[in-house]
Amino acid sequence: MEVVRLFFGLPAPPELREALGRWQAAQGLPARWSHTEGLHLTLAFLGTRPTAARPGLEAIGAAVAAGHRPFTLRTTTLGTFPERRAPRVLWLGVTPAAALEALATDLRDRLTGAEEAFDAKPFRAHLTLARLQPPRLPLNLQPPDPAAWEVGQLALFESQPQGRYPVLRSWPLSRV
């Protein structure tokens, strides 16, 4: 049985990926930087699934996307996981948005209703920028310039080794 690691998320647009790539390159930070072509905001991490599960997951993705309008997000400041003591992950936050919360809640509710397992940690909107090596953050790190981001699609991603996240399928947010 063939298996893949999957998650639902929002792909970052090309102009944001390019700007964040330039910012990453200028940092000189000992880190394993996220590949800019796969930058995204995770809505629900599904974990390892048989490839045969994809049609059901794709049906959920299509139904969720059809019920939501496009919306705008704005990047904000940097954060880390864990928040204190020896941070290992550097991330870029987004301003709170009711449309984003509604989309994430709808997706998670539909996954639960379909008895599809996912990582049920509380939703915390962010784009992972780097894995810190060693686990610490320099005090003088300046965040990237804030940027607006028009969210127009929901995507099913595959999580591959070395931080690669190709989109397997996407659906336009289309409620009119």
Domain ranges of the chain: 3-172
pTM score, whole prediction: 0.93
Counting residues of the chain whose pLDDT is more than 90, the rounded percentage is: 78
Banded model confidence at residue 56, pLDDT cuts 50, 70, 90: very high
Q: Return the closest-CA partner of residue 31 out of 161, 162, 134.
A: 134
User: What pLDDT sits at residue 88?
Assistant: 87
Residues 92-115, mean pLDDT to the nearest whole number: 98
Q: Return the closest-CA partner of residue 11 out of 167, 174, 171.
A: 167
- Provide φ and ψ at 36, rounded to 5°: -65, -30
Banded model confidence at residue 163, pLDDT cuts 50, 70, 90: confident
pLDDT digits (tens, 9 = 90+) for 112-134: 999 999 999 999 999 999 988 77
Q: How far is CA 154 from CA 58, 59, 64, 94, 132, in A?
A: 11, 12, 8, 17, 28
Banded model confidence at residue 138, pLDDT cuts 50, 70, 90: low
Taking the alpha carbons of 70, 33, 108, 82 in that order, is the dihedral positive or negative? Answer: negative
Place of tokens 């599960």: 53
171 pLDDT above the threshold of 90: yes
Domain 3-172 sits in CATH 3.40.50.2300: no
20-29, 110-119, 121-130, 164-173: segment of lowest average pLDDT: 20-29
Q: How far is CA 78 from CA 51, 89, 90, 114, in A?
A: 35, 10, 7, 35
The one-letter amino acid code at 57 reads: L
